[in-house]
Amino acid sequence: MRGLSDIGTIKDILHRHGFTFSKALGQNFLINPSVCPRMAELSGAGEGVGVIEIGPGIGVLTNELCQLADKVVAVELDKRLIPVLGETLAEYSNIKVINADVLELDLNKLIEDELSGMEVVICANLPYYITSPVIMKLLEDKLPIAAITVMVQKEAAQRICAPVGSRESGAVTVSVNYYAEPSLQFHVSAGSFMPAPKVDSAVIRLDVRKEPPVKTDEKKFFKVVKAAFSQRRKVISNSLSSGLKMSKDEINGVLSAANVPPNARAEKLSLNDFAAIAGNLRD
Ligand code: SAM
């Protein structure tokens, strides 16, 4: 169904299905008609491409993706939206809607079963209450995907896309950069949604790396990143000592072997610094 971002059309559909928004599921539906075509274009959806969408809502972005991609698999947790999607996507034969929690799904299997032989990308207006867990699952599951194009809260977008080693960076910046090259694409005002959220949003694209930019023991690397940023105002020797439960002397030995000054702050460190610290930690 075209013109789905028209507010009158949305209200009519939702009214006929007796649908009420769930705040707990992060349901803010797009009503700005320029956003979805732009997102779908940016996502890389096209010939030979299969798309996974998370949280299709009433299918406004799904419609655009179905027009561009070979196939779209949309994962929606709210079962009340399944009949709505049946109506709004009725004209497409290249859509599969799955009623599931994306955090519980085996996405490698889903790609194997539904999108084999296609280049796969992910595109979504994410439910904001699970932005980081979803993005980290998509990256940590090591899916055979080329890119992730998602709408997130503006502050989350700025944090994820900040340069590693800058004041604005955090654990999520370092973690995302290990797996992908993030870029902020465009901003979307709160008024583009119904109901309007309290904050503005932004669309980011993560181009998934074929190889990580540093060689490291991943388990130790992410343990160090988490500990380093757990008390970001503290110097690195203090935050690692408490986060990794190691004595100050031990930590200072590790930092010296890794060539990282003990009084540095986590936000100033590079991916190489984190890898060097992880490489000098005992098992
Ligand atoms: N794509 C639609 C749009 O742009 O108008 C809706 C986006 S809305 C921000 C987020 C959607 O994600 C809702 O439809 C919500 O029901 C769904 N959702 C929430 N938690 C989910 C989960 N764990 N797994 C899959 N979908 C989820």
79 shares its domain with 121: yes
> CB of 30 closer than 6 A to ligand 1?
yes
Distance from the alpha carbon of residue 106 to the mean position of ligand 1, in angstroms: 18
Residue 102 CA: nearest ligand 1 atom is 24
Q: Can you tell me whether residue 83 is helix, strand or coil?
A: helix
Average pLDDT rounded to a whole number, residues 49-72: 98
Is it the case that residue 4 has pLDDT exceeding 90? no
122 shares its domain with 189: yes
- Among 180, 208, 236, identify where a domain stops: 208
Q: What is the DSSP string of 51-75?
A: EEEE--TTTHHHHHHHHHSSEEEEE
Q: What stretches of the chain show up as alpha helix (H) in DSSP?
A: 7-16, 35-43, 60-68, 82-88, 107-114, 131-140, 154-161, 171-179, 218-230, 236-243, 248-257, 271-279
Q: Is position 2 within any domain?
A: no
Distance CA 65, CA 41 (A): 8
> CB of 143 closer than 6 A to ligand 1?
no
Residue 25 CA: nearest ligand 1 atom is 19
Instruction: Give the pair of three-digit tokens for residue 165.
Output: 């080693």
115 shares its domain with 222: no
- Angle of helix 60-68 relative to helix 35-43, nearest 10 degrees, comes to 40
71 shares its domain with 11: yes
pTM here is: 0.95
> Residue 234 has what DSSP assignment?
S
> CB of 103 closer than 6 A to ligand 1?
yes
Is it the case that residue 60 has pLDDT exceeding 80? yes
Average pLDDT rounded to a whole number, residues 225-254: 94
CATH of the domain at 252: 1.10.8.100
Distance CA 121, CA 75 (A): 14
Q: Is position 258 within any domain?
A: yes
Q: Is position 213 within any domain?
A: no
Q: Is position 155 within any domain?
A: yes
pLDDT value, residue 269: 97
Cis status, amide bond into 195, omega within 30 of 0: yes
Domains: count for the chain? 2
Domain that holds residue 68: 7-208
In contact, 164 and 271? CB cutoff 8 Å: yes
- Torsion of Cα atoms, 139 then 142 then 145 then 149, to 10°: 0
Q: Is position 116 within any domain?
A: yes
Confidence band of 198 (pLDDT split at 50, 70, 90): very high
CATH of the domain at 32: 3.40.50.150
pLDDT value, residue 272: 98
Distance CA 276, CA 257 (A): 8
Per-residue pLDDT tens over the stretch 67-126 = 999 999 999 999 999 999 999 999 999 999 999 999 999 999 999 999 999 999 999 999
* Listed residue (119, 19, 125) closest to 69, CA to CA: 119
Average pLDDT rounded to a whole number, residues 54-58: 97
Is it the case that residue 188 has pLDDT exceeding 80? yes
Best of 9, 78, 82, 194 for a ligand 1 pocket test (most atoms within 8 Å of beta carbon): 78
Distance from the alpha carbon of residue 141 to the mean position of ligand 1, in angstroms: 20
